[in-house]
Amino acid sequence: MDFEPSRQVSCSKSLQQLKLAALFTNAKFTTTASLCMAANSSDNGAPVFITSCSDTTSQKVWTLPQIGHGNSGRYALAFGPGGTAPIKCLDVTDGQDGQAAPGTKLQLWDCTTDHDISQGFLPTGVIAWQASGFNGLCVDLTDGIKNKGNQVGLSQIARS
């Protein structure tokens, strides 16, 4: 489903940030160039990248945590027919080990049942990573490049 962006938090590459719907639990994340955040594989460690929103070879509809009230949670992507298993979650590579920094790439991983900090994101108009000691990082295009296949990573939030 397509959607209009909601509130925005400015990242260092604000024109390239990925935006999310404010009112939906299932949504695509888009850039200003009609590119969507997607993945092709349900394997752990599969890269999360951008592709054309009309691409039919990759999965692009994410299940979001409840928007508002400061809720953080997992962003899940289902690879089975009709949104069934296998279901994987947006994950910060090495995020739990305290290795994440601006430029860290994002991947898919098995969804955790606890509140694993490598899978805790907050819907604030952009997708902000909410982890102790790592606040201020949001999902962004690597090097601001809008080419299909560019892997998505973390960027420092510049609040204005």
Residue 43 has a pLDDT of 92
Local confidence band at 13 (pLDDT 50, 70, 90 cut-offs): very low
What is the residue whose two structure tokens read 């090097």?
143
Q: Which residue would you say has higher pLDDT here, 85 or 122?
A: 85
Q: Where are the domains of the chain?
A: 14-156
pLDDT in tens, 96-146: 555 677 888 888 888 876 656 677 665 555 555 555 455 567 778 887 788
- 14-156: CATH topology: Trefoil (Acidic Fibroblast Growth Factor, subunit A) (2.80.10)
pLDDT, mean over the chain: 67
pLDDT in tens, 32-56: 667 888 888 889 999 999 888 888 8
For the ranges 12-26, 76-90, 94-108, which has the lowest average pLDDT?
A: 12-26
Q: Which residue would you say has higher pLDDT here, 108 or 6?
A: 108
Residue 12 has a pLDDT of 40
Residue 117 has a pLDDT of 66
Instruction: Give 50-119 as a DSSP string.
Output: EEETT-SSSB--EE-PPPSTT--B--EEE-SGGG-SSEEEEEETTGGGT---TT-BEEEEEPPSS--GGG
Identity of the residue numbered 16: Q
Residue 109 has a pLDDT of 87
